[in-house]
Structure 1
């Protein structure tokens, strides 16, 4: 387990003074990468084999949003792994150790030379120590879509501020992009990452309303999918 303590700052809050959805993703992403970096054997193996892990999906359940100046703790750990994917929980707590937001994420092993998903030896997995899986409602990695319900509502080009050091759109920036197309007060965000979007790519936004959920599909102009995001207003 890796732990990160911080205070909610002014750059992380929305118009109501509460932690933004994308800031939740930023905090969870930072904590996860610090945990990976702290694992000496894992870092060595990745560097020697030119391997990294790319996020495949994330589900975040929100119980309560902290406000400006609140002290919070972010904890993350891997609870399961196989030759293709790693499974991780990340939880944000208030200063009394109450759960504010809880996440499970799936990452795939990627060959950095080709950008392709790969499988690692089972012997590597056998040496890894796992923590206990968090209690939450684990929904499927893949988000079901119905193209008959989805309607194009917008399109735009990817800007520089969205790009990270992998030269594609950072996973949290998709939330910044999506937030304009959903109402406030959502309780769950699910996102499935498909093809990485790069600088200058055109994102075609398609939207559907299904019960208490907002479904968004970010495609390119050839209908290949960058990401699918679902906002739910109940848990």
Structure 2
């Protein structure tokens, strides 16, 4: 396990004074980055070897989004490294131990010169000691519209041109930026997001145009409001799929 502590900043909160969902993702991404840096397998190491860990998918369960000024503990547990893949849990807790959010993620180690996956080597395995898989409901990585969804409605949103501020050090749109694009196209204001699933399919680069295709529906069992957003290229290829399930409002 690896963790760091922080305090929720004004720049990270929404209009209701709680941590933004995309800021939660940034905390999780920062946590795994800090672990890599501290273990000697950080950005410089990866750059020299022309390697990058590319995120395939997220599943994030949100119990409560912390408010401005709350002190939090952010952690990550790599629990499996095999073949080309790395599996990681993440969590955010309060100082008192209240679990605010827990997540599962799948990563692929990529040779950036050859643009193909490579097997995780011994050096990487030593850098990320494996821990016990966290207790949570583990859902499939692939996201599909549910067959039993009720009231399914489709709409399109205005295209998004990829700008410099969308990019990360790998030269493509940052993982959290895709989620931000989907979040800012939401129409449902009743509750906070209880579950977020993200499937990354292709990389978008500077100047690309992204076309959001949005489906809103109700869960068959709970009637919770849900939204699935496909972020597509003009030719229909999909860059990313985001599924958001609403829960109760934050206190």
Counterpart selection for 2:161 from 151, 157, 163: 157
- Is residue 2:216 matched to residue 1:203? no
- Is residue 2:234 matched to residue 1:227? no
Matches within 5 A, 1:1-235: 1-40=1-40, 46=46, 49-120=49-120, 129-145=129-145, 150-182=154-186, 183-184=188-189, 185-211=192-218, 212-234=225-247
Deviation at 1:65, TM superposition (A): 0.9
How far apart, in 1, do the equivalents of 2:155 and 2:111 lie?
35
Do the aligned partners of 2:198 and 2:241 also contact (CA within 8 Å) in 1?
A: yes
How far apart, in 1, do the equivalents of 2:103 and 2:58 lie?
7
Deviation at 1:100, TM superposition (A): 0.2
- Which of 173-182 and 72-81 deviates more? 173-182
1:108-139 deviation digits (Å, cap 9, x = unpaired): 01001122223345x66876631000001111
SS of the residue corresponding to residue 187 of structure 1 reads strand
- Which of 60-69 and 50-59 deviates more? 50-59
Do the aligned partners of 1:203 and 1:221 also contact (CA within 8 Å) in 2?
A: yes
Deviation at 1:198, TM superposition (A): 0.8
Instruction: Structure 2 unaligned segments of length 5 or more: list them.
Output: 147-151, 219-224
Q: What RMSD, in angstroms, separates the aligned Cα atoms of the two structures?
A: 2.4
- Which of 183-192 and 131-140 deviates more? 183-192
SS of the residue corresponding to residue 159 of structure 2 reads strand
Aligned length: 233
Do the aligned partners of 2:32 and 2:76 also contact (CA within 8 Å) in 1?
A: yes
For normalisation by structure 1, the TM-score amounts to 0.90
1:69-112 deviation digits (Å, cap 9, x = unpaired): 10001011201121121100110001101110111111001001
How far apart, in 1, do the equivalents of 2:217 and 2:123 lie?
42
1:166-222 deviation digits (Å, cap 9, x = unpaired): 111111111211112222412011100111111110001101123232000001011
Q: CA 1:125–1:207 in structure 2 vs 1: closer, same or farther (change >3 Å)?
A: same
Q: CA 1:109–1:150 in structure 2 vs 1: closer, same or farther (change >3 Å)?
A: farther
For normalisation by structure 2, the TM-score amounts to 0.85
How far apart, in 1, do the equivalents of 2:182 and 2:103 lie?
18
